[in-house]
Amino acid sequence: MAILATSPEPVVLEHSGLSLRHTFSCGQCFRFVPEGDGYAGVAMGRPLFLKQQGSQTLFYCSKEEFEALWRGYFDLDRDYEPAHRLLAQDSYTKAAMEFGHGLRLLRQEPWETLCSFLISQCNNIPRIQAIIDALCRLCGEPVEYGGRTFYAFPTPEAVARQGLESLASIRAGYRAKYILSAAQRITAGVSLERIAAMETEEARRAVMEFDGVGRKVADCFLLFGAHKWDVFPVDTWMKKAAPHHGGQADGRGFGKVAGLAQQYIFYYARESAKKY
DNA sequence: GTCCAGGGTCCCA
DNA sequence: TGGGACCCTGGA
């Protein structure tokens, strides 16, 4: 594959406990897709190809870049064991956890997360991916990597420069005005980083001031873009799964690891449903 | 061809 | 508090 041929020696991680498949398929992020025998995607403006063989995970980037960006992005410095022990006490979350073993909660950027989940509303995952990809191609910075051109997620400024007519080309439907409005709000001075740094309740209130952001999108922003593990986004899948686990419909029973529980349950419920 | 649902939100009665 | 509208697709 072209990417491999021109990449430097990869950074190799042994026995990290990380599963790329579960981490990228569980629905938390939309920009890493299967590529050859691994995955390719862009985050924080940097493209990356990575793959797993045996007990090894191979990151095709420099050691410096791995330490500066990807170690944090994959949340590799956090010990998931205490959370796993807690979730193993409930038979349903235990099964969900075994199903999605190796899933890591990515530390995604606030703006990309907010935008992605604005697009997610009343939409399915393949189409969410297609719309985000179209948005990046429309106004994201091109970045060369492994002989190919990738597109960074556009900045709020770049999105704000697009008119509603231009944004119509990404086929986001009624969500386009929410994306534009959010971009304008941020370029006018509202800081998502500042909101992400607030306590959960205050941050939730602040992000819900954005047009098109209700409780669900706000909670996805808090969990995936602000890395607040006590947040439990409730969507149609979580409502379906609620009768089966002991964490209550709003996830209160899972306490400070509710977010991780949510991701295991969401992934498990959705993948199980595909079989029928 | 039509109908419906897909990681919701908003508005109005 | 409940229900319809909102854009657009893919599958039934």
Can you give the distance from the CA of residue A250 to the C1' of nucleotide C3 in angstroms? 23
Tell me how far apart the alpha carbons of residues A77 and A237 are, in angstroms, rounded to a whole number.
30
Tell me how far apart the alpha carbons of residues A71 and A53 are, in angstroms, rounded to a whole number.
19
Tell me how far apart the alpha carbons of residues A182 and A53 are, in angstroms, rounded to a whole number.
41
What is the residue-averaged pLDDT of chain A?
A: 93
Q: State the pLDDT confidence band at A206, using cuts at 50, 70 and 90.
A: very high
Q: Which two tokens stand for residue A9?
A: 């020696």
Q: State the pLDDT confidence band at A276, using cuts at 50, 70 and 90.
A: very low
Q: Is the CB of A59 under 7 A from strand B?
A: no
Tell me how far apart the alpha carbons of residues A59 and A265 are, in angstroms, rounded to a whole number.
28
Region A215-219: mean pLDDT is: 96
A216 tagged catalytic: yes
Q: Which amino acid is at A198?
A: M
Q: Is the CB of A175 under 7 A from strand C?
A: yes
Q: State the pLDDT confidence band at A271, using cuts at 50, 70 and 90.
A: confident
pLDDT of the residue at A219: 96
Can you give the distance from the CA of residue A48 to the C1' of nucleotide B9 in angstroms? 34
Region A222-243: mean pLDDT is: 93
A263, closest nucleotide (Cα–C1'): B7
A173, closest nucleotide (Cα–C1'): C7
For chain A, the first-to-last Cα distance in angstroms comes to: 35
Q: Which two tokens stand for residue A268?
A: 């498990």
Residue nearest to nucleotide B9 (CA to C1'): A212
Query: Could you report the per-residue pLDDT of A162-204, keeping only the tens digit for each?
Result: 999 999 999 999 999 999 999 999 999 999 999 999 999 999 9
pLDDT of the residue at A8: 72
* Cross-strand pairs, A9: none
Chain B positions within 7 A of any protein Cβ atom are 6-10
Q: State the pLDDT confidence band at A4, using cuts at 50, 70 and 90.
A: low
Can you give the distance from the CA of residue A212 to the C1' of nucleotide C5 in angstroms? 14
Region A88-92: mean pLDDT is: 95
Tell me how far apart the alpha carbons of residues A136 and A173 are, in angstroms, rounded to a whole number.
16
